[in-house]
Amino acid sequence: MPPDRRTERQSALRAALEGEGLDGLLVTHLPNIRYLTGFTGSAAMLVVRADATILITDFRYATQAPSEAGSAAVVEVDQKSVWERLGRVLSAAPIETLGIEGHSLTVRDAERVGALTRARVVPTADLVERLRVAKAPEEVAAIETAAVLAQDALAEVLPSVRIGQTELDVAAALEGALRRRGSEWHPFPTIVASGPRSALPHARTSDRVLGRGEWLLLDFGAQVDGYCADLTSTVVVGARADERQRTVHELVRSAQQRALEHLRPGMTGKEGDALAREVIAARGFGEAFGHSLGHGLGLEVHEAPRLAPTSDSPLPMHAVVTVEPGVYLPGWGGVRLEDDVYLGPDGPRRLSDGRTELVELV
């Protein structure tokens, strides 16, 4: 059994609250609630004070919430209104200053919180997310398990891909393989983009029919114990790659390889991004790489830190990030290669297999 880290996570949060001059925090972002208590339901609010952690949910989770939270939180289940129960909880032990998650609560709900308490309500930013950036060994292991599961699913599906199938056909086969291998859900909508549509970095999977000799870009993920993996592969369907395809693929592969070899904790997100961006720009394709190199992975598929030209923040030790350079040429297609990487004290370690050689499905 992995160690139960919920008490230490809550203690770290309380120290952060004290540093911010807050007497308590209302946590409403569900991944943060899961991180602090273990509760996996779809509706909850969590009050964290110096002397208590109180999980408020509704009738649907009357059995699940106490089972999952255990000793990590006092569970309050309300049959009628979680908001009324929140008001009673806040009134039972009045505090002076209550933080709320400004990125999670709507303006309307923030006003509702203000009406329920005499405390001064203060929006906060990323208090729990900052704790989540550095991953414990069991968190890294869950992401790695999800990555292995995902690449095994892809290995099953690729040999069956044929000209005449639609993008939706391929996505359905891939999602089925992910679920059969134990993925709890898809961390984001699976992207399968063929031909010129592969130049759309975040294409929606469509009913377009795969053509001979075209790019097929697959961006997909898996989820294990709540933790996400995120992978991208770009292959050629039904023919050998032509010279232009080989050139662009090798360029993206070289850019990714440089980043995978040289990423280190402590360098800024901007410096990490530049490892790949410089390779692509030197070949004249800088304008064709318009997104950041990568992002953090964990209970969410997009979380801190960021590997981006705008990020001056250092990459933390024990973070897990994606490394996903791409080149996108409208009307022709695009190539993106993505692996998941743990930034440990011994340097970067790939959690996915890093097999980025050009695949031709002939």
- pLDDT band (50, 70, 90) for residue 1: confident
CA 322, 327, 333, 337 torsion: positive or negative? negative
Average pLDDT over residues 80-93: 93
Q: Which pLDDT tens digit goes with each residue over 170-182? A: 999 999 999 999 9
Contact status, residue 245 vs residue 206, Cβ threshold 8 Å: no
31 lies in some domain: yes
Same domain, 143 and 124: no
- pLDDT band (50, 70, 90) for residue 353: confident
Same domain, 317 and 241: yes
For 255-265, letters b (16+ CB in 10 Å) and e give bbbbbbeebbb
Q: Which of 132, 161, 189 is the last residue of a domain?
A: 132
Token digits for 88? 């009673």
How would you class 221 by CB atoms within 10 Å of its CB: exposed for 0-12, middle for 13-18, buried for 19 or more? Answer: buried
281 lies in some domain: yes
Q: Which helix (H) or strand (E) holds 262?
A: helix 243-262
- pLDDT band (50, 70, 90) for residue 80: confident
Q: Which pLDDT tens digit goes with each residue over 271-294? A: 999 999 999 999 999 999 999 999
Dist CA 301 CA 102 (whole Å): 20
Contact status, residue 210 vs residue 170, Cβ threshold 8 Å: yes
Same domain, 150 and 45: no
Q: Which of 107, 132, 157 is the last residue of a domain?
A: 132
Q: Say what the pLDDT of residue 355 is.
A: 83
Q: State the first-to-last Cα distance of the chain, in angstroms, to the nearest integer.
A: 45
39 lies in some domain: yes
Same domain, 117 and 147: no
Q: Which residue has the tokens 């469509």?
A: 206
66 lies in some domain: yes
Q: Which of 99, 132, 165 is the last residue of a domain?
A: 132
Same domain, 101 and 203: no
Same domain, 215 and 351: yes
Among candidate residues 195, 130, 137, 142, the one with its CA nearest the CA of residue 166: 195
- pLDDT band (50, 70, 90) for residue 354: confident
- pLDDT band (50, 70, 90) for residue 45: very high
27 lies in some domain: yes
1 lies in some domain: no
| Domain span including residue 33 | 6-132
- pLDDT band (50, 70, 90) for residue 94: confident
What is the full DSSP assignment across 182-242?
A: T--S-SSPPEEEEGGGGGSTTPPP-SPBP-TTEEEEEEEEEEETTEEEEEEEEEEESS---
Contact status, residue 321 vs residue 315, Cβ threshold 8 Å: yes
| pLDDT for residue 79 is more than 90 | no
Same domain, 148 and 90: no
Same domain, 120 and 143: no
109 lies in some domain: yes
Contact status, residue 267 vs residue 311, Cβ threshold 8 Å: no
Number of domains within the chain: 2
CB within 8 Å of 155: residues ≥ 6 apart: none
The mean predicted confidence, pLDDT, of the chain is 97
91 lies in some domain: yes
Same domain, 119 and 188: no
Average pLDDT over residues 306-323: 97
| pLDDT for residue 96 is more than 90 | yes
- 178: domain CATH number is 3.90.230.10
Same domain, 126 and 184: no
- 75: domain CATH number is 3.40.350.10
Same domain, 232 and 248: yes
Q: Which residue has the tokens 């001059």?
A: 21
- pTM value is 0.96
Same domain, 239 and 213: yes
CA distances from 355 to 70, 83, 151, 291, 302 (A): 42, 50, 10, 22, 23
